[in-house]
Amino acid sequence: MKLRFAPSPTGYLHVGNARVALANWLVARKSGGTFVLRFDDTDTERSKPEYATAIEEDLRWLGLDWDESFAQTERLEAYEAAAARLKADGRLYPCLESEEELRFKREQRQRQGRPPVYDRAALQMTAEQLERAIANGKKPYWRFKLSPRTVEWQDHVLGHRAVKLPPISDPVLIRADGSFLYTFTSVVDDLDTAITGVIRGEDHVTNTGVQIDIMEALGMRPGRIDFAHLPLLTDADGSQLSKRIGSMGLRQLRRDGIEPAALAGYLAALGSSQDPVAGMPAQLVAGFALDKLSKSSARFDPTQLLALNRRYLHGLSFEQVKAQLPEGADEAFWLAVRGNLDLMSEARDWHDIATGAPEIPPQPDQAEFLRAALAALPPAPWDETTWSAWTRALGAASGRKGKALFLPLRLALTGEEHGPELKLFLPLIGRERAEQRLVQAAG
Ligand code: GLU
């Protein structure tokens, strides 16, 4: 098997296309096949090398690698050669109509209640007419003559699919300036690089009908390439995925502290009935199969992703995370805070709270209690038993319990109302800082 992921380097990778990349990668790896990264960069105005580099970086972050990679702008000769064949066969024909003319024709057809399909008037043009126009400085663009048929395939996600070609206008494959369009370059690449399967978004279904027709015009045996279309993502409430979420960039998620294993696990389970399990792509290979995916759209819910991220963080060992922790953070720190993190980035905040100088709000109404707490602070060294010994004694002396006992202490020690278990966190603060903070809070 040979699959490819073909992003256009016109922007950063977002969750929608990361899911397509992951699905192709998982299928390729599961079959022991090849995974190709192809940059669809024929739109030279919008494509930028920085984006290609960023896409590679983001894919690696997500845990994906590739066996081959190339950019379409490296293959212009191959497209020229394929175009020459289609021209010789009469399947690619020159057109001269301007945008305005085409719009006028479309509107006319619509007024007559006919579908606004291109009428192929250019096919009536004689060689002399064309030559004269070219001599007058006009440049033709080229359309592919679609077959009068319905293209059918067995989609690996959507099941049997059919696209009727007659109501579709012959697609332009080459612009007047000689540049090639994606519809064509993608077909030539898929054939030349011997791709065996194409997995992409459902928005490409009509495209697939058209592209299969072009592939067969270029000599492909029917059915040689398998197609699978992933149903589109929707918002948590089932409406069309909002721009904000749909364009949620992997860079942003990474900056926010989402772990690649959480994102990969979430994306791999999207649209299936399986509960997402966090894991790097290599760990997800065995559990992934296109036929587990539903034909209907999948909900992308950032709160579920966050919940998965949280569960994942809570289960990580110090060894697994130490490279990501702030300097000086040791295993005791990690075990104290991991159960309290939504995002890895919050570990830094807790580290600052433990060892830095957090803002401690004064609690004038608790002053007496806090002074008593200060006086009762156990001697160093501190360990996991210190907190309970201290608070048990304080409870007995003051008659306080529960929130009345614990909340003023937590606030005084951390400046926060919620946080890690103090049994583990107090030794990280240490006696000296605890003393200062209690004094500060007592005012
Ligand atoms: N560059 C195309 C896109 O990003 C690729 C689609 C395909 O997989 O053929 O939509």
Encode pLDDT of 275-332 as tens digits. Answer: 999 999 999 999 999 999 999 999 999 899 999 999 999 999 999 999 999 999 999 9
pLDDT value of residue 245: 59
- Does residue 161 sit within a domain? no
pLDDT value of residue 257: 83
**181 C-alpha to ligand 1 centroid (Å):** 12
- Does residue 170 sit within a domain? no
428 and 373 belong to one structural domain = yes
Cα–Cα distance measured from residue 25 to residue 12, given in angstroms and rounded to the nearest whole number:
19
Quickly count: other Cβ atoms within 10 Å of residue 374's Cβ. Answer: 17
275 and 393 belong to one structural domain = no
pLDDT value of residue 413: 98
At which residue do the structure tokens 């928005």 appear? 203
**210 C-alpha to ligand 1 centroid (Å):** 14
- The residue out of 273, 300, 316 marking a domain boundary is 316
Helices (H) and strands (E) in the chain, counts: 19, 12
- Looking from the CA of residue 199, the nearest atom of ligand 1 is 8
291 and 400 belong to one structural domain = no
Residue-by-residue DSSP string for 218-240: TTPPTT-SEEEEEPPEE-TTSSB
96 pLDDT higher than 60: yes
224 and 337 belong to one structural domain = no
359 pLDDT higher than 80: yes
Per-residue pLDDT averaged across 430-441, rounded?
Answer: 97
Q: How many residues does the chain have?
A: 443
Q: Quick one: tokens of 316?
A: 């990580």
The residue whose CA is least distant from atom 3 of ligand 1 is: 7
Which residues approach ligand 1 with their CB closer than 6 A? 6-8, 40, 182, 186, 200, 204
Q: Could you give phi then psi for residue 217, rounded to 5 degrees?
A: -65, -25
- Does residue 173 sit within a domain? no
- Does residue 52 sit within a domain? yes
88 and 54 belong to one structural domain = no
**321 C-alpha to ligand 1 centroid (Å):** 35
Q: What CATH number did the domain enclosing 432 receive? A: 1.10.10.350
Question: Which are the contacts of 117, defined by CB distance < 8 A and separation ≥ 6?
Answer: 109, 166, 167, 168, 169
145 and 186 belong to one structural domain = no
Q: 87 among the known binding-site residues?
A: no
Per-residue pLDDT averaged across 106-130, rounded?
Answer: 94
Which bin fits 174, alpha (ψ -120 to 50), beta or left (φ > 0)? beta
pLDDT digits (tens, 9 = 90+) for 221-263: 999 999 999 999 888 777 776 666 556 789 988 888 899 999 9
Rg (Cα) of the chain, in Å, rounded? Answer: 31
pLDDT value of residue 246: 56
255 and 227 belong to one structural domain = no
192 and 273 belong to one structural domain = no
- The residue out of 113, 137, 154 marking a domain boundary is 154
- Does residue 163 sit within a domain? no
pLDDT digits (tens, 9 = 90+) for 151-192: 999 999 999 999 999 999 999 999 999 999 999 999 999 999
201 and 118 belong to one structural domain = no
322 and 432 belong to one structural domain = yes
- Does residue 175 sit within a domain? no
- Looking from the CA of residue 211, the nearest atom of ligand 1 is 9
- Looking from the CA of residue 40, the nearest atom of ligand 1 is 1
Ligand 1 mutation pick, 182, 190, 202, max ligand atoms within 8 A of CB: 182
User: Residue 8 is part of which domain span?
Assistant: 2-69+180-233
Sign of CA dihedral 278, 281, 286, 288: positive
363 and 214 belong to one structural domain = no
223 and 238 belong to one structural domain = no
- The residue out of 316, 332, 355 marking a domain boundary is 316
DSSP run (H or E) holding 375: helix 367-375
Count how many domains the chain has: 4
Ligand 1 mutation pick, 55, 190, 204, max ligand atoms within 8 A of CB: 204
- Does residue 171 sit within a domain? no
